[in-house]
Amino acid sequence: MAREIMILRKLDHPNVVKLEGLATSRMQYSLYLVFDFMQSDLTRVISRPDGRLTEPQVKCYMHQLLSGLQHCHERGILHRDIKGSNLLIDKNGMLKIADFGLANYFSPNQKRPLTSRVVTLWYRAPELLLGTTNYGVGIDLWSAGCLLAEMIAGRPIMPGRTEVEQLHRIFKLCGAPSEDYWKKLKLSTTFRPPAYKPCLFEVFHDFPESSLGLLSTLLALDPAYRGSASSALQNEANLQILLLPDFKLISSFCLQFFSTSPLACDLSGLPVIYNKDDDSTTAIEHRKNRRSRMKHRSKTHRERRIKDQATELPKPENESNNEEPQEKIVELDVQRHEPSSSTSSTSSSAKQSNQTDTLPFLLSPPADSRQKMSPGTHDHPNAGKNIKNRPPLPPSRTRSNNYNDNADNKYRLNQVHRSASTREFRKLSQNNNLETLCI
């Protein structure tokens, strides 16, 4: 795209589309080229159902096309994609060459290799189909010759489906090239077409006689015989084309295309593709479509908002219903962890139940300060071994309840708020220590 922008900025001609500016999109990170709005193109004009173009109309369009090509070639620019859909026409009938995406710079004195994968197949020159990389303005002039015949005939003259079929169509119309042609262009010798004879005048016998000279010049197999856009505008015929064998209508070549009667018409005489009524009708349709889109958008937005409100309303009821079972589950979990053997644990559970009754809006019951369960020894199979390896616990600074394990009152154990399994293992270990000391 950078090369296309540079080429468009270099060109300034009435028959070449003008770059008005650049537009960027921050959302899509894209770059857009801004041109004048064009109502139609040459393909649409040729295929219109009103009938074929007249000779003055063909001359007018052809003069505009060659003028635009002359401007490009004089500035060292090859378009490389001349076809009807790339020749835009505005509401006044002015033809403008557009779509310079395949365009490139060239220099007649310093030739450099260029790719041969350019130009649409129906308008591609034979040297490109044969794979040459050294070419010049001849490829654009060949496409212009195809368009000249298409405007007069009302249809494409060589609609090939493949490159090989396109070559055979070209050689059937223009004749098989000579050996010098292959040597001059340095083309591969693997492909050799049959010995076709040129039949250009037989195929286009109903064309105006003034057009045959320019048509045979632009559709010459050798690109050197096609001349240039300026020579085509000046009606200069190539003598080597005129003296080809089996061409007997030499006098017709001497007729100049643009200077013979009927002359090219003005822009006002070209077929009308644009009407002011079309603008009004399209504007009305655009407004209708815009209003319908806005209505549909507002309707969908309203329906979506109603649906969201309907889904949001029952949420508080569900949450209030779900609070009670969560509280019950938490209470059951707390009661399951508390031991049922000791009296202190039962009293603490009773207090917790009373607290939960007084605070119904809490999701979890408040933790008792006396419940300090060890995370490492609770319900663990190796809890006894871990307790034996630990030093004796210090006396608890909190309130302690003394109780006698045996009738002899062998020891006094301060109650520590651990699980029942922890206290039992602790009691066994201390019994063993006391028995060893007595012995």
**Which of 65-74, 183-192, 252-261, 346-355 is predicted least confidently?**
346-355
**Within 13 A of 248's CA, how many CA atoms are on the CB side?**
3
Please, which residues bridge with residue 40 across strands?
Answer: 89
**Which of 21-30, 211-220, 224-233, 272-281 is predicted least confidently?**
272-281
Residue type, position 341, single letter: S
Residues in the chain, overall count = 439
Catalytic entry in 41, 81, 140, 222: 81
Q: What percent of the chain has pLDDT over 90?
A: 41
| Mean pLDDT of the region 74-100 | 95
Q: How far apart are CA 222 and CA 398, in angstroms?
A: 113
Q: How far apart are CA 15 and CA 40, in angstroms?
A: 14
Query: pLDDT of 149-200, one tens digit each?
Result: 999 999 999 999 999 999 999 999 999 988 888 888 887 767 788 888 999 9
- Can you give the pLDDT at residue 303? 83
88 — pLDDT class (breaks 50, 70, 90): very high
Q: How much is the mean pLDDT over the chain?
A: 76
391 — pLDDT class (breaks 50, 70, 90): low
DSSP assigned state of 225: G
DSSP letters spanning 321-382: HHHHHHHHHHHHHHHHHS-SSSHHHHHHHHHHHHHHHH-TT-SSPPPPTT----TTTTT-TT
Q: Report which of 359, 271, 284 is spatially closest to residue 52, judged by C-alpha positions.
A: 271
State the CB neighbour count (10 A cutoff) for residue 413: 16
In the predicted model, is pLDDT for residue 28 greater than 90?
no
CA angle 199, 205, 210 (to 5 degrees): 105
Would you call 121 helix, strand, or coil by DSSP? Answer: helix
| Mean pLDDT of the region 246-257 | 49
User: 């105006």: which residue's tokens?
Assistant: 208
- Can you give the pLDDT at residue 291? 78
Q: Is 81 a catalytic residue?
A: yes
- Can you give the pLDDT at residue 71? 96
Q: What percent of the chain has pLDDT over 70?
A: 64
Query: pLDDT of 252-280, one tens digit each?
Result: 444 588 988 899 999 989 997 765 555 55
Residue type, position 77, single letter: I
In the predicted model, is pLDDT for residue 381 greater than 70?
no
In the predicted model, is pLDDT for residue 219 greater than 50?
yes
| Mean pLDDT of the region 27-54 | 89
pTM here is: 0.62
In the predicted model, is pLDDT for residue 99 greater than 50?
yes
State the CB neighbour count (10 A cutoff) for residue 143: 26
**Which of 168-182, 289-303, 383-397 is predicted least confidently?**
383-397
Q: Report which secondary-structure segment, H or E, holds 22.
A: strand 21-25
235 — pLDDT class (breaks 50, 70, 90): low
- Can you give the pLDDT at residue 210? 87
347 — pLDDT class (breaks 50, 70, 90): very low
| Mean pLDDT of the region 217-230 | 93
Structure tokens at 28: 């899509």
| Mean pLDDT of the region 239-261 | 54
